Amino acid sequence: MKTLYQRLDLADYRPFSNREYAIRMAWEFVQSTILRALPRRSFRTRGRILSLFGAKIGRSAKVCKGVRIRHPWLLEIAEYSEIGEGTEIYNLGRISIGAHTVISQRAFLCAGTHDLGLVSRPLLRPPISIGSGVWVCAGAFIGPGVTIGNNAVVGAFAVVVKNVEEAMVVAGNPARVVAPRRRPSDLP
């Protein structure tokens, strides 16, 4: 047999503590029953339930129906931000979202990966930081360890694997700068 670059028999299939697995199981139950049953516009109730599981949710933040969150205790959403339906927040690492930011429907925020430099592929949990005034458009993928600067726009179905500078518009796979974001003409 040729040399293998990964060995699944050496992988750690229980990278979290027993306590964290128990909390995750409770969260999965609540997410798939109570949150799923809530009416579409029950933003405050969703926020309160997320807060009970350790999320830091701004009072006016809106988490839409059908959002999937892996670890609410590793999530921070500031005031006036919105998370669209069908968004997947795969936050094995911390994810922070600034104020007045929109994460559109079916976006995927992925704060987890593996170290491909080791045959055992240990789990890595690099954080994602999304600034204020950002718009992550529908279906976009934000990869592990990415920082998106304030007022940036990530185009629909873009794949972001590198940091995005403040007030830039990025699109494509991999995401590239398309243009600077124009300052709105009706700002005070």
> What does the pLDDT look like over 67-100, one tens digit per residue?
999 999 999 999 999 999 999 999 999 999 999 9
pLDDT score for 91: 97
17-179 is a CATH 2.160.10.10 domain: yes
Q: Find out whether 72 and 95 touch, Cβ atoms under 8 Å.
A: no
> What does the pLDDT look like over 30-74, one tens digit per residue?
999 999 999 999 999 999 999 999 999 998 999 999 999 999 999
Question: For the chain, which residues make up each domain, given as ranges?
Answer: 17-179
pLDDT score for 1: 64
Scanning the chain, the segments in alpha helix (DSSP H) are 18-30, 36-37, 43-52
d(CA 125, CA 110): 9
Q: What is the mean pLDDT of the chain?
A: 95
From residue 23, how far is each of 17, 28, 64, 113 by CA, in Å? 10, 9, 22, 21
d(CA 138, CA 24): 27
Confidence at 135, pLDDT banded by 50, 70, 90: very high
d(CA 10, CA 121): 8
> What does the pLDDT look like over 97-112, one tens digit per residue?
999 999 999 999 999 9
Report the residue count for the chain: 188
